[in-house]
Amino acid sequence: MKFAVIVFPGSNCDYDMVNALRDVLHATADLVPATATSLAGYDAVILPGGFSYGDYLRSGAIARFAPIMAAVKAVAATGKPVVGICNGFQVLTEAGLLPGALQANRTAKFICKTSPLRIANAETQFTSAYGTTTEIALPIAHGEGNYYCDEATLAELRANHQIVFEYVDNPNGSTANIAGVMNQAGNVLGMMPHPERAVEAILGSTDGLGIFQSMLTHEEVANA
C-alpha cells in the first residue's frame, strides 16, 4: 500500500506520519507538496497536522485552495482512503469532504495532552483492527478542535454510523463529544487526535497503530 502524505506550508506532523508508516508499519510513504497536481499511483492519502498556511485566516481555509486539493478530492471520489488528522481534519471540512466544522476550543486555549477516546464505530476500514477494544488513548494538540455541526447533520451522522471516535472527557466542547467522523461512503476520515504520535512504546502508547493496521488489512483483503 502506497501512502501520499500531503505537505502544506506550515505542516509539522508530516515526518511523524512518514515515520509511523515507513519505519513502524513498513509501508511505502512519500511526502507530496501542496503544489503538486496529481496523486496517481497512490493507494491512500493522509493530510497531517500542523498549521497550514499559518492558520492566518481560519484553520484549513487557505489549504482547501492548494493545487493538490483537486487531486485529493479525485482520490476520495474513487473510494480510496483519505485521512485528515488535526489540521488535516480541518482542511477536509473546509474542502467539503466531511460534514461539520472545527472552531476554537471552548476554553479559547491550546490543548496538548493525552485524551481517552471511545471507538464509536469499530466496523470501518480505519478501526477494524481494534477488534473488541472499545477505548483507546491518543494525544491531542489543537486550539481549534471544537467540532460543530447542526442538529440535522448530527442526526445524519448517527443514523449513518459516521461518528468514528468520541471523547470520553470532552476537552474542547465538541458537539456530541465527537473526535472523529467519516463521510457516508466510509472512505474519508477526519479526526483531531494524533494516532501517528502513538505508534511506539517509546512514545508512551501504541494505541494509534490500529488505524493504520486497519487500512493496510482493508487494502490486502480488497486486493486478494
- Predicted confidence at residue 223, as pLDDT, reads 84
Give me Rg for the CA atoms of the chain.
16
CATH number, domain of 83, equals 3.40.50.880
| Residue ranges for the chain with pLDDT beneath 70 | none
Three-state helix/strand/coil letters over 118-174? EECCCCCCCCHHHCCCCEEEEEEEECCCEEECCHHHHHHHHHCCCEEEEECCCCCCC
Q: Is 26 designated active site?
A: no
CA dist., res. 139 & res. 186, Å (int): 24
Q: Which of 149, 194, 218, 219 is catalytic?
A: 194
DSSP 205: B
Structural domain boundaries, residue 154: 2-223
51 residue type, one letter = F
Q: Which of 94, 144, 196, 219 is catalytic?
A: 196
Q: Is 123 designated active site?
A: no
- Predicted confidence at residue 196, as pLDDT, reads 98
Q: Is 144 designated active site?
A: no
CA dist., res. 150 & res. 173, Å (int): 14
Query: How many domains does one find in the chain?
Result: 1
Cell of 173: 466542547
Q: Which of 13, 86, 144, 166 is catalytic?
A: 86
CA dist., res. 224 & res. 221, Å (int): 5
- Predicted confidence at residue 222, as pLDDT, reads 84
CA dist., res. 82 & res. 36, Å (int): 17
- Predicted confidence at residue 140, as pLDDT, reads 98
DSSP 52: G
CA dist., res. 206 & res. 53, Å (int): 30
- Predicted confidence at residue 224, as pLDDT, reads 77
93 by Cβ neighbours in 10 Å (0-12 / 13-18 / 19+) ranks as: buried
